[in-house]
Structure 1
């Protein structure tokens, strides 16, 4: 077997540079300075020397692209110069060349080599036989001094070394044409460090596998057998599909010389050219594919479709359908069944009107138009209704409605009870006279006729505060109202609150914990109306329980808040007790003690506490144990030394957390799958994006972990295992996606499922 080598252009350059060491030529002392440099041109080496007449002579250096002519003794000046780079030029040595110095000519001078150019015996390549050759067959090269040749180079640097020649003498070389050979001139080389390269006069034509004409495979299907007839098909190494995929094939040669290649069309075959590739890498087209597609497709039913309906698609080549993409959906669905003439598929609830696509393995799709069933508006039970009253819509297919949008932007989600009648609540904000938009679950919508919304006859707020108005919990809320004489009560978040009416102005005492989306209800003798208004909750409430001048002196005391001086039963754990004081400027130390009515330090208070110089106050957070001590043992006495008390306050921290579940549930090493009830727990609590969800645990094992699921066992947070913090809490920021999952109720699903190990769940809250 021939040993085949491929040499890159870069590798050849490296060989030449290495070879230049043996062929260094100096500049003539008469023409150049000691730097061997002139006019931006520097000659480092030239060669080969000896060189064959008719061979290539190379010059290495820098700035050589400025050379305009090369003069060799016995020849005219050579102007046909091959500029390889600025560092190398080449010329072909004429047959009349004689030994001697070589001169490089530039516009501003000359450079003469310091060594003479000599010549080898005149290697020549006269003829290639045959002129057209098949890889694997023998090529004969006739010429002179071919016994000096060390390698033969085919196009694309495919090299046959001397040891792989079939035969060699002075007049002739015979060698086997390598499989990788391509059309082009061949080179014979003497293998020197800077070798003599002699090119053939004519290009050698290398036989490729061929077909009379590429087959037309229009209408062919995956798994069809394709037979290609041609010549020299035994050279084929690869058969490649239009998408670049290689397929297995079989080569056969029959009596009489007929040759064939046989292959099977793959499932993912696409339109385009099929090519065969020999070892040389040259691609030859053997067929053009126009893949078969479903044709004459009819959808039944094609209109009036709703989620869950089964669509029957009939036509030709229907077995080619792999998946179906419905309009409005990114993910394709698989057919329920298919045959050569029919495909059946269920209509997804999210699909909309448009063109469904019948997808094939070839990557091509066939569109089929479908239309969904739409709600039809016929009339309102009353074309004019009062603000806040229910709206009754009459029509057809109203059970498809998932949401109603009022003119003004208010949106109301609905669960229709009938296909012919739909009752919709009317929000008191974002509603104006105009059309209503009936929105289906898939996002498609239709509009109703115009609805007139009149001012109500009961007490109502005509203009709500603007978004730029900051309203705070714990403060008085003032608003203009109409029909004030009808008002009989006001509720905030379902609880009765105090109010005053002066003229048409309503004053409402807002609870301190009132926050975003607070529901204010105006109750009239002839109806009620609700408003959703945002407040900023007052999370801290500070009450002054004592002011005056209380000189503690040296362990005296201020006992005004002891023995009935204050009702400590009204204080809750977590409240901050703050003492405001002035230190004696003449003292060099100060101490404070929180004591009971008997002057003993409160448990856990720190006993006698040293104060820093310049301090103005000291705060103690009251525990339940401290409060019990104050209640049961005579209240509070302040003592210590070297300060004067001016004020004592209590600051209550109001938690905005809403408890949605409370209990004691041991996770028991992943063995408990707790489906939390009721499944409306987050809906009832008003969970929204932007809130914080907290789970509280009693941790009893170092290896404690928790997993959370939605109501249909969909893993939240990609199924990640969560670990409670050091206080046993998992806090989660609620985004839109999580809020939707926890508040979307599905027939059999719960809203929240908890698993875990090494801990006991005690509480779930939102804030």
Structure 2
């Protein structure tokens, strides 16, 4: 196999200038049949010259990839052309080649070399022995003019230079076979690949076979176990560098050769050995199979008990090769569990509560698993205490293994979590929504379920709502809620979130005064003389309350005044900070400017109100947010006087903004420099406040360091937000949108810890709220 040598641009130029040394020049193109430039094809140099017959002849120029054939005297047209690039082609010189000019045929004509090609003394190879040959042994090459050879190149470009030849003469070369040598052709070169003159003759001779380590046949390791000692017999095993398992892992081995010449390698099967071929690898990297593994597995496995299982039961698994079991994967679970104990004949394991019926898997270190069928214990329905019950009444189920029930699902979709007190009887509350006549589904903690017989749910005798509002209906807090009811004559009271509210019953219509803060999932309770029923209804809370405190025609003229809200005209002590005071007005069309002042009873501008305010042309209203300082001024100094010029007041309103935030913690805790790990109490704070996804969690801080930062953790020191450092905003607040994951972490309590832990630096925590 000939090696490809790439020449640099500088070397290419040197070759052009010094072609007389290594190359022959082409014709100057005075005559048509010797023109060196044909249709964009240009020949610059060719060589080497002299060249060995059987050697490689190179042509350098441009457009060389378009050459169709090469003609050498004494030979026919050569079309077997090796295209190196657009700038170089190569051909092998036939043994019949004679001295003369070389012609290159192009699509547009012919190019003839200016100088004749000449030949070196013929390098010939007669024998190459031994063949096959073992790496490290001496290879002898005999022939003629071998003294010209500077390098022997083994298959896949593995060169041995002249300096490393063991013997070198005209008729013989002796060279030590490299340990990395592979079976294939051998190439002789009359110049080293490291020489600056890369135009060398490459003479390819017959291939040789490189001896590999071998075995008569790969061993069958079926049923072998980790830890077993494996002995492999073969030939030339001293060449082995590596023994590799089927999974690619290398293992230690020992080589031995007896006095009788028997060769062996010995290794131990590792714990994680898998099925497949074990190979040995010499320095050449060629893999030779020495064994096939069919790893031993647990067999004849019997589970006791195999059915009627519940979480916490101990299962005994007996069989053969049981010591190979590393873990057990139960059906319905992703994570495997460790055996409680194991021996060669027995494995014991405790069944997790989340496991379901199916095949548990006995896992081995080899990556193979053995399945064993198990069946869980199921609740058994026998009867209802009463097959027909009223809506909202309790349902009593009788049967077996009812203590396994974790949740009951009604026909209609309503779900009720239960804590059974008995294995034979289960009392379940009935929601007033999402319940219809039909079967109940008894759901176990592991997710498996069974169905009961049909339950008939009758309309209640107390006041109830037959048809609830659809999801598309928008109900607002602060308004009157109208809904149809049945048995309205039994109604004695209505509560919203456990607080009594006003209502009116008129025939089959109920009108309820809904508090302004009522929101999603508001509990509406209808109290009757013969029963009570609860509903969960979504409202949109009213976060703003606008009250008109004055209407009329108040012409302020040119710095006149509208003083109806001063000196007892309105009780300003009832106003809270943050309330918006809005003046609705009409501007004089004939005026060029308009001004407004919010004054106290003495007409002086309220502190912080902006003094004499310039109004924009076409404006219809102006809003001032009242601070506590402004309210104190109105209370203490005669109320409000509106003055200014060129506008008429028509209405004045107050808009109160209602915060729906619920404070779950208040205090004053200096975070210092990360020195405080505040485990917030009580650990049910978010559960008690009803935190759920979709809410906003806010932390309020007094910031005293510009580089203040905060870190948050769940109750078990799990870093929230990937442990990111949070920075309070300009108001000292960190606001966080609560998703399902965060809601679960802050409301899921185990046997220890708190629901929320805060760290920080440069700030003092004052409040935690949800909204």
TM over 0.5: yes
Look up the SS of the partner of 2:184 in the other structure.
coil
Alpha-carbon distance, 1:100 to partner: 0.8
Look up the SS of the partner of 1:133 in the other structure.
coil
Partner of residue 162, structure 1: 162
Cα contact 1:31–1:112 (8 A) shared by 2 = no
Cα distance between partner residues in 1 of 2:14 and 2:381 = 93
Cα contact 2:38–2:106 (8 A) shared by 1 = no
Partner of residue 445, structure 1: 449
Of 464-473 and 151-160, deviating more is 464-473
Of 71-80 and 650-659, deviating more is 71-80
* Inter-CA distance 237–663: structure 2 relative to 1 (3 Å threshold): same
State the Cα deviation string for residues 282-327 of structure 1 (Å, max 9, x = none).
Answer: 1111111122222222333333333333333333333322332222
Partner of residue 651, structure 1: 655
* Inter-CA distance 82–719: structure 2 relative to 1 (3 Å threshold): closer
State the Cα deviation string for residues 304-351 of structure 1 (Å, max 9, x = none).
Answer: 333333333333333322332222222223333333333333323322
State the Cα deviation string for residues 153-197 of structure 1 (Å, max 9, x = none).
Answer: 111111111111111111111111111211122111111632212
Look up the SS of the partner of 1:626 in the other structure.
helix
Cα distance between partner residues in 1 of 2:743 and 2:313 = 30
* Inter-CA distance 129–64: structure 2 relative to 1 (3 Å threshold): same
Of 749-758 and 181-190, deviating more is 749-758
* Inter-CA distance 589–89: structure 2 relative to 1 (3 Å threshold): closer
Equivalent position to 1:199, from 197, 204, 211: 204
Alpha-carbon distance, 1:150 to partner: 0.9
Cα distance between partner residues in 2 of 1:596 and 1:163 = 110
Partner of residue 767, structure 2: 763
State the Cα deviation string for residues 560-615 of structure 1 (Å, max 9, x = none).
Answer: 11222122232222111112223445555544333333444434334444444444
Cα distance between partner residues in 1 of 2:163 and 2:182 = 21
Equivalent position to 1:386, from 387, 390, 395: 390
* Inter-CA distance 61–305: structure 2 relative to 1 (3 Å threshold): farther
Partner of residue 307, structure 1: 311
1:259 aligns with 2:263: yes
Length, aligned pairs only = 760
Equivalent position to 1:692, from 696, 713, 717: 696
Partner of residue 466, structure 2: 462
1:431-580 matches, cutoff 5 A: 431-580=435-584
Cα distance between partner residues in 2 of 1:139 and 1:497 = 108
Cα distance between partner residues in 2 of 1:220 and 1:15 = 64
1:8-407 matches, cutoff 5 A: 9=4, 11=6, 21=16, 22=19, 23-27=23-27, 29-32=30-33, 34=35, 36-37=37-38, 43-60=43-60, 70-78=70-78, 90-105=90-105, 110-191=110-191, 193-200=198-205, 202-407=206-411
Cα distance between partner residues in 1 of 2:80 and 2:643 = 112
* Inter-CA distance 70–682: structure 2 relative to 1 (3 Å threshold): closer
Look up the SS of the partner of 2:185 in the other structure.
coil
Alpha-carbon distance, 1:746 to partner: 3.7
Cα distance between partner residues in 1 of 2:357 and 2:584 = 72
* Inter-CA distance 720–103: structure 2 relative to 1 (3 Å threshold): closer
Partner of residue 194, structure 2: none
Cα distance between partner residues in 2 of 1:319 and 1:522 = 65
Look up the SS of the partner of 2:163 in the other structure.
helix
* Inter-CA distance 224–101: structure 2 relative to 1 (3 Å threshold): same
Of 186-195 and 458-467, deviating more is 186-195
Cα contact 1:125–1:198 (8 A) shared by 2 = no
Unmatched segments (≥5 aa) in structure 2: 192-196
Alpha-carbon distance, 1:151 to partner: 0.8
Cα distance between partner residues in 2 of 1:732 and 1:107 = 76
Cα distance between partner residues in 1 of 2:282 and 2:14 = 36
Cα distance between partner residues in 1 of 2:727 and 2:626 = 30
* Inter-CA distance 532–9: structure 2 relative to 1 (3 Å threshold): farther
* Inter-CA distance 582–130: structure 2 relative to 1 (3 Å threshold): same
Alpha-carbon distance, 1:83 to partner: 6.0
State the Cα deviation string for residues 46-65 of structure 1 (Å, max 9, x = none).
Answer: 33221222333344556667
Equivalent position to 1:716, from 717, 720, 740: 720
Cα contact 1:409–1:431 (8 A) shared by 2 = yes
Cα distance between partner residues in 2 of 1:395 and 1:703 = 64
Cα distance between partner residues in 2 of 1:722 and 1:418 = 49
Look up the SS of the partner of 1:203 in the other structure.
strand
State the Cα deviation string for residues 637-671 of structure 1 (Å, max 9, x = none).
Answer: 22334433221110011111122333444556666
Look up the SS of the partner of 1:529 in the other structure.
strand
Alpha-carbon distance, 1:99 to partner: 0.7
* Inter-CA distance 218–734: structure 2 relative to 1 (3 Å threshold): same
Partner of residue 738, structure 2: 734
Look up the SS of the partner of 1:485 in the other structure.
helix
Cα distance between partner residues in 2 of 1:324 and 1:7 = 58
State the Cα deviation string for residues 80-109 of structure 1 (Å, max 9, x = none).
Answer: 556667765554433332211123457875
Of 134-143 and 59-68, deviating more is 59-68
Cα distance between partner residues in 2 of 1:435 and 1:681 = 37
Alpha-carbon distance, 1:146 to partner: 0.8
Partner of residue 3, structure 1: none
* Inter-CA distance 328–9: structure 2 relative to 1 (3 Å threshold): farther
Cα contact 2:2–2:204 (8 A) shared by 1 = no
Of 721-730 and 105-114, deviating more is 105-114
1:418-429 matches, cutoff 5 A: 418-429=422-433
* Inter-CA distance 478–215: structure 2 relative to 1 (3 Å threshold): same
Of 416-425 and 697-706, deviating more is 697-706
Cα contact 2:36–2:43 (8 A) shared by 1 = no
Cα contact 2:245–2:273 (8 A) shared by 1 = yes
* Inter-CA distance 705–617: structure 2 relative to 1 (3 Å threshold): same
Cα distance between partner residues in 2 of 1:389 and 1:7 = 94
1:637 aligns with 2:641: yes
Partner of residue 412, structure 1: 416
Cα contact 1:132–1:205 (8 A) shared by 2 = yes
